[in-house]
Amino acid sequence: MLPRGRPRAMGAAALLLLLLLFGFLLFDGRLRRAAALDGDPGAGPGDHNRSDCGPPPPRPSKCELLHVAIVCAGHNSSRDVITLVKSMLFYRKNPLHLHLVTDAVARNILEMLFHTWMVPAVHVSFYNAEELKSQVSWIPNKHYSGLYGLMKLVLPSALPAELAHVIVLDTDVTFASDISELWALFAHFSDTQAIGLVENQSDWYLGNLWKNHRPWPALGRGFNTGVILLRLDRLRQAGWEQMWRLTARRELLTLPATSLADQDIFNAVIKEHPGLVQPLPCVWNVQLSDHTLAERCYSAASDLKVIHWNSPKKLQVKNKHVEFFRNFYLTFLEYDGNLLRRELFGCPSQPPPGAEQLQQALAQLDEEDPCFEFRQQQLTVHRVHVTFLPHEPPPPRPHDVTLVAQLSMDRLQMLEALCRHWPGPMSLALYLTDAEAQQFLRFIEASPVLAARQDVAYHVVYREGPLYPVNQLRNVALAQALTPYVFLSDIDFLPAYSLYDYLRASIEQLGLGSQRKAALVVPAFETLHYRFSFPHSKVELLALLDVGALYTFRYHEWPRGHAPTDYARWREAQAPYRVQWAADYEPYVVVPRDCPRYDPRFVGFGWNKVAHIVELDAQEYELLVLPEAFTIHLPHAPSLDISRFRSSPTYRDCLQALKDEFHQDLSRHHGAAALKYLPALQQPQSPAQG
Amino acid sequence: MLPRGRPRAMGAAALLLLLLLFGFLLFDGRLRRAAALDGDPGAGPGDHNRSDCGPPPPRPSKCELLHVAIVCAGHNSSRDVITLVKSMLFYRKNPLHLHLVTDAVARNILEMLFHTWMVPAVHVSFYNAEELKSQVSWIPNKHYSGLYGLMKLVLPSALPAELAHVIVLDTDVTFASDISELWALFAHFSDTQAIGLVENQSDWYLGNLWKNHRPWPALGRGFNTGVILLRLDRLRQAGWEQMWRLTARRELLTLPATSLADQDIFNAVIKEHPGLVQPLPCVWNVQLSDHTLAERCYSAASDLKVIHWNSPKKLQVKNKHVEFFRNFYLTFLEYDGNLLRRELFGCPSQPPPGAEQLQQALAQLDEEDPCFEFRQQQLTVHRVHVTFLPHEPPPPRPHDVTLVAQLSMDRLQMLEALCRHWPGPMSLALYLTDAEAQQFLRFIEASPVLAARQDVAYHVVYREGPLYPVNQLRNVALAQALTPYVFLSDIDFLPAYSLYDYLRASIEQLGLGSQRKAALVVPAFETLHYRFSFPHSKVELLALLDVGALYTFRYHEWPRGHAPTDYARWREAQAPYRVQWAADYEPYVVVPRDCPRYDPRFVGFGWNKVAHIVELDAQEYELLVLPEAFTIHLPHAPSLDISRFRSSPTYRDCLQALKDEFHQDLSRHHGAAALKYLPALQQPQSPAQG
């Protein structure tokens, strides 16, 4: 409800706004429901509300392409953009073209994300923010959005010249309605209007927030630039480039800096050229800053359209309805993005790259095939969000090693211990739902040990399908490792405290990579006790082995997996020694980053590492066991996949089928040399092997 | 797209429909966009489409109460109804009154669910389906919905006499828009129309699906009754009760039974009284049966409003766009229902029972209190969905025992083993998100062992907040146990194979409950090996203990927790023996179902069972150790809560504060007798204790 009898002081601004509104109504030319102005003749936020769709602006035609521009930089903003895009896609009914102005970090993340998301009728273009920096870096700015906020000013020149209309969005907005309704408001622009904006929902630009508060000039309460309709064509014609620079330079003669980045400059320009602006209904930018006046808008409206978290506190902002808005935001934060891969009926559009081949391959699968689930899982393209959290790549060092592993929620508690054992870089793939990704985020934030580590890169691979895509996960983590060498580990292993240093020294000494094509074997052990005192040296480890507190890995269930490591020799070894491949060998190894990838056909449980070692051997990697290296497996409950494997003969049959196909491919690539592996591939799989 | 040039045979029906449509347009009295009839003058599904909101029907006023009636019976339909309600609540902007016609099972589930869901501005009334059965049971029916489908016919008399308008929904519909738009269509009814329906989107009623297919009579293609607007007042006035019975009786003279339950009868009545029906736009009931013609509707529409899974195959139905609709359905299936607890701005409504006190209590919490998270978690009201899966209560037997435990996703793999060890009834509380609840469902369906057990009741408690509400979960499982005795266990324990029989015999012999107020102690052991051969007798267990393959529970880390059980005595014991309470004692016990509840203030980790045993002792339960009973703990990775506890001094301080408050309450209830427990409560907690 609009409060009755508000201070007369607001009269002047209100009058001005009313005049603007009046123009807007005249232009609209339609009968508007009297109710639209029923609230309070004093104007203010809320009065532009026309969310009830009677009489509606003409919607864009069903298949019209809508253009959206977003400036995005860094890891955290990239996460925000994805939530924004999810909300937009949930309600959209039109094809979209996203124009993303990004730094290198955001581009790396978002390019991979959209590539793997494969949403029909969404086209994405990237623009290099670095190239635009010089155009705005001369402006002193105090706003938390930094230089990137200011880049919205240069969009008319940065975006393609043929692009005439674009909706510009801040990364911290959430859609609660179909973006085509917003696009439809372009139709309300007069012949000269070029910028559609919602009024600012705070008293900031009135300049009365505190003593000596001197905001930039603005029309009345000013406008918020979190949501902008831009007629790029008209701005280019009107000489926008000169216009905003002139205004900014002039204001900066008396003002020290912008406080609200681009928004200050947009408002100053509009104050000077009020004919440029088309005010938009308040519901298209409901602003949730600390002292927001937005309630006037949303209490009267029956429908919110866009929520804007325009406080640096974001979801922690205090306001009495924040719980409502937070719930709305969480809806999309936790929403399964896979569900947005739905087509637009009746709008023919070019399918995303690879989508057609994928559809064809999926269509060729036989649903009656007992291994149908395996086939389907192998073909599944998982959404991938690389470097989900802030990450500092390690400085380039010639013998550096990244620990590579993959996990899901049930192994998160391993991360702290792993960080204590491995002080070097890590590249970890996490198999999560969108909601779990948020739990993971909170888990990291709550852990001082994990929050302090900037050299651990977490790559989220979104869950889809019933089988754990273990090798696809390993490949994602492997592809993102940035050091010349990688230690291919599993998440339930803790390496010796000294391993990181020892590996780097060994790589250097052995001339791994440059002189020698070798895989360094890190011998694996296991404890069956889930509380356990980790040995600080090989001597301590051997002592524990002798008293039966440790075993060689899978000693009881599957000794073949590590037998070729030759633990007896390792006990005595003083120098690296070469071992020969044998059937079922699956050691943990250190290899150059450009090593063969894991075979993604092995999904679920079984043969995933074994096949990789076969491939290394087939490519003639030497297997060198390191005498001081060790890693220890900690006990855990069996995974659901293993439980399933144990109870299902079909599962085992399908695995055998995969192995057969793997060998066919091996023969294709390596010819007669692949014959060596045939007996190994034909023997029955032990249910205990993993 | 509507196919051009369809068979002339449909002409007659089409003409009739056109006439109807024409009346509809005249009544509407507004200018309708020419586009609305642009498609194909041949009529058919799709032509009623007016989803673009220009010119819109008048929306109900912002705070108008909308009434919805749903018939629901059994465990599976109850799950369906919740998904339907989630989709409705997601888009709704009005207060709702749900009128639920339920059997005892559905009522038990839904009453608890809505009570704990606490959604503002949703009122729920229940009506007893059993009482309505006799009114429809005389109708022979072949449809899978059974008797319950037919009950829609008697709603005019079953619902309150003062209720004039109601929307009737099948449990298998999903909303994709605001229900107030549907309600607004009541305004289009002529003075005599009483039933709003969407045309049937298949050729069923045309009677040409197969040779000798003889459907019930219908107007043209007939109407689908998955979504009905009912003017109850007019139907009552028009003598609906007699009308439909008369028609049904007459048709049943020549037809053997209804094929599509109520829908056949509605159509037959409408054929006779066409003036009753107001056809609705097709988008309000997009029907996804196997041979649906719905594509004609949704390809032309820009907006779908309601999806109807009107095939017995439900989501497994085959049609070329099913993936799109399935994604839409999954959105709400997996949607976090907690997020729907959002208020309706500007619509004052009576808060749900208990909501105001809860709000006040939450408002009184001090966010700066280091134990704020604990306080908030204690106050959290979790949504509870009891008997999430089909469940047959055990036949009443005087000494029967239910195993009571709680778990989250990471312990699902324990369930099969538990079922093998415990052949009796179980009541298990599961702490899950909405999405996890669906994973759980698939997990059960995929396991022959679990799917076969109808005596295991699974109660889903929906996740909210950072701390595991262990005692609230135990209390939910305990409250749902239906046998006179309960075995209070934990999910990571496997009981002796004979325990179920042995406990029942012991309860009978000892006269537990009636003659004796006692808790029977089941001695607890543990294995540190995660592959392990379970002992078949006490003799075997003792042998394993002697060789160090088993230990008494927490022998290494926290012997105090079970020391009073006196394992040395147990070795030799031939008869039950009494033991005394001592500090930190937390045995697994069998007690009458009406035993004290767990103290819900203990959330997260620590002291949750200890406090319960203190309460039993304070209430003078004898502690009797059973000489042949045992249960064995299997190893697992530590839970996240334990990890957190270990790393946080604040966590331990808060636990101490909880213990202090627990003792204050204990003193209040038991007076000086509570002094006995004071030292125990003041000693520091071992971080290893759980």
- Give yes or no for residue A395 having a pLDDT over 80: yes
* Closest residue in B to A53 (Cα–Cα): B53
> What CA–CA distance (Å, rounded) separates A183 from B206?
44
The answer to whether the Cβ–Cβ distance between A324 and B343 falls below 8 Å is: yes
Question: How large is the average pLDDT for residues B420-444?
Answer: 95
3-state secondary structure A645-662: HHHCHHHHHHHHHHHHHH
The predicted pLDDT at position A639 comes to 66
ipTM of the complex: 0.79
**Nearest residue of chain A to residue B348 (CA atoms):** A299
Distance of residue B504 Cα from the nearest chain A Cα, in angstroms = 31
Q: What is the pLDDT of residues B317-339, one digit of tens each?
A: 777 788 888 888 999 999 999 99
Proportion of chain A above pLDDT 90, given as a percent: 65
Percent helix, strand and coil across chain B, each to the nearest 5: 45, 15, 40
At A644 the pLDDT is 65
Q: Are B54 and A52 an interchain contact pair (Cβ–Cβ within 8 Å)? A: no
pLDDT of A529: 74
pLDDT at A377: 92
**pLDDT tens-digit map of A552-603:** 998 888 889 999 999 999 999 999 999 999 999 999 999 999 999 999 999 8
Could you read off the pLDDT of A33-75 as tens digits, one per residue?
322 323 333 333 334 433 333 445 567 777 899 999 999 999 9
* pLDDT in the model for residue B11: 43
**Rounded percentage of chain B residues whose pLDDT exceeds 90:** 65
Domain architecture of chain A: domains with CATH: 66-340 (3.90.550.10), 384-677 (3.90.550.10)
CB pairs < 8 Å spanning A and B: 144
| Interchain contact, B637 vs A530, CB within 8 Å | yes
What is the average per-residue pLDDT within A284-305? 84
pLDDT of residue A501: 98
Among residues of chain A, what percentage have pLDDT more than 70?
Answer: 88
Average pLDDT of span A381-402:
96
Nearest-CA residue of chain B relative to A638? Answer: B413
Q: Which of the residues A174, A413, A493 would you substitute to probe the B interface, choosing the one with the greatest number of B C-beta atoms within 10 Å?
A: A413
Are A410 and B435 inside 8 Å of each other by CB? no
Query: Nearest C-alpha of chain A: how many angstroms from B549?
Result: 11
- Do the beta carbons of residue B425 and residue B394 sit within 8 Å? yes
- Yes or no: say if B114 and B337 are a contact pair by the CB < 8 Å rule: no
Q: Could you tell me which chain A residue has the CA closest to the CA of B94?
A: A302
- pLDDT in the model for residue B53: 37
Q: How many angstroms separate the CA atoms of A259 and A312, rounded?
A: 13
Contacts of A556 in chain B (CB under 8 A): 531
Which residues of chain A neighbour B317 with C-beta distances below 8 Å? none
**Chain A residues closer than 8 Å to B345 by CB:** 298-299, 321, 324
Distance of residue A150 Cα from the nearest chain B Cα, in angstroms = 35
Q: Which of the given ranges, A1-10, B132-141, B199-208, B298-307, has the highest pLDDT on average?
A: B132-141
Taking an 8 Å cut-off on Cβ atoms, the answer to whether B636 and A638 are in contact is: no
Average pLDDT on A88-109 reads 96
Q: Tell me: the pLDDT tens digits for B615-652?
A: 999 999 999 999 999 999 998 766 666 666 666 788 88
pLDDT for position A363: 86
Lowest mean pLDDT among A310-324, B234-248, B632-646: B632-646
pLDDT higher than threshold 50 for residue A6 = no
C-alpha separations of B649 from A245, A448, A453, B143, B672 in Å? 55, 13, 22, 62, 32
> According to the model, what pLDDT value does residue A61 have?
78
Choose the mutation target among A345, A440, A462 for the interface with B, i.e. most B CBs under 10 Å: A345
Task: Decide the pairing of beta strands A401-408 and A485-488.
Answer: parallel
Highest mean pLDDT among A116-120, A213-217, B682-686: A116-120
Please report the pLDDT score of residue B48 as a whole number: 42
Task: Kindly state the percentage of chain B with pLDDT values over 70.
Answer: 88
The reply to whether residue A336 touches residue B324, judged by beta carbons under 8 angstroms, is no
Nearest to B406 by CA among B336, B471, B494: B471
Q: Look at residue B132 in the predicted model and tell me its pLDDT.
A: 96
Distance CA B488, CA B486 (A): 6
- Quick one: closest CA in B to A327, which residue? B339
What is the DSSP secondary structure assignment for residue A217, as one 8-state letter? P
Q: If you average pLDDT over residues A235-255, what whole number do you get?
A: 96
Residues in A touching B183 (Cβ below 8 Å): none
Q: Which residues of B touch A435 (CB under 8 A)?
A: 336, 433, 435
- The pLDDT score that the predictor gives to residue B13 is 43
List pLDDT tens digits, range B346-393. 787 788 888 888 888 988 998 888 888 889 999 999 999 999 999 999
Q: State the pLDDT confidence band at B461, using cuts at 50, 70 and 90.
A: very high
Q: Determine the pLDDT at residue B394.
A: 87
Q: Which of B335, B528, B643 sits opposite A413 (nearest CB)?
A: B643
Mean pLDDT of the region B452-481: 96
pTM: 0.85
Of the candidates A50, A57, A4, the one whose C-alpha atom is nearest the C-alpha of residue A301 is A50
Tell me whether strands A551-552 and B384-385 are parallel, antiparallel or unpaired: unpaired
- The pLDDT, as a whole number, for residue A638 is 65
Cβ atoms A400, A483 nearer than 8 A = yes
Verify whether the Cβ–Cβ distance B342 to A324 is below 8 Å.
yes
Burial category of A486 from C-beta neighbours within 10 Å (exposed 0-12, middle 13-18, buried 19 and up) = buried
The mean pLDDT of A612-620, rounded to a whole number, is 95
Q: Which of A339, A343, A447 sits opposite B330 (nearest CB)?
A: A339
Report the gap between the CA of A460 and the closest CA in chain B (Å).
18
C-beta atoms surrounding B190 within 10 Å: 12
* pLDDT for the residue numbered A668: 93
At B684, is the pLDDT very low, low, confident or very high (cuts 50, 70, 90)? low
Question: Which is higher by pLDDT, A632 or B369?
Answer: A632
**Token output for A134:** 């010089």
Cβ <8 Å between B298 and A345? yes
Vertex B334 angle, CA B329 and B339, to 5°: 110
Q: Do A62 and B331 touch (CB under 8 A)?
A: no
Q: Per mean pLDDT, which of A47-61, A147-161, A516-530, B642-656 is the most reliable?
A: A147-161
The minimal CB distance from A302 to the residues B93, B328, B639 is found for B93
Q: Which distant-in-sequence residues (6+ apart) come within 8 Å of B582 by Cβ?
A: B560, B563, B564, B680
The pLDDT confidence band at residue A656, using thresholds 50, 70 and 90, is confident
Burial call A172-201: b when 16+ CB within 10 Å, e when fewer: bbbbbbbbbbbbbbbebbeeebbbbbbbbb
Q: How confident is the model at residue A13 (pLDDT cuts 50, 70, 90)?
A: very low
The mean pLDDT of A475-488, rounded to a whole number, is 97
What confidence score (pLDDT) does residue B40 get? Answer: 32
| Contact call for residues B227 and B154 (beta carbons, < 8 A) | no
Question: Is there a contact between A298 and B345 if contact means CB atoms under 8 Å apart?
Answer: yes
Q: What is the mean pLDDT of residues A440-461?
A: 94
How confident is the model at residue A24, as a pLDDT? Answer: 36
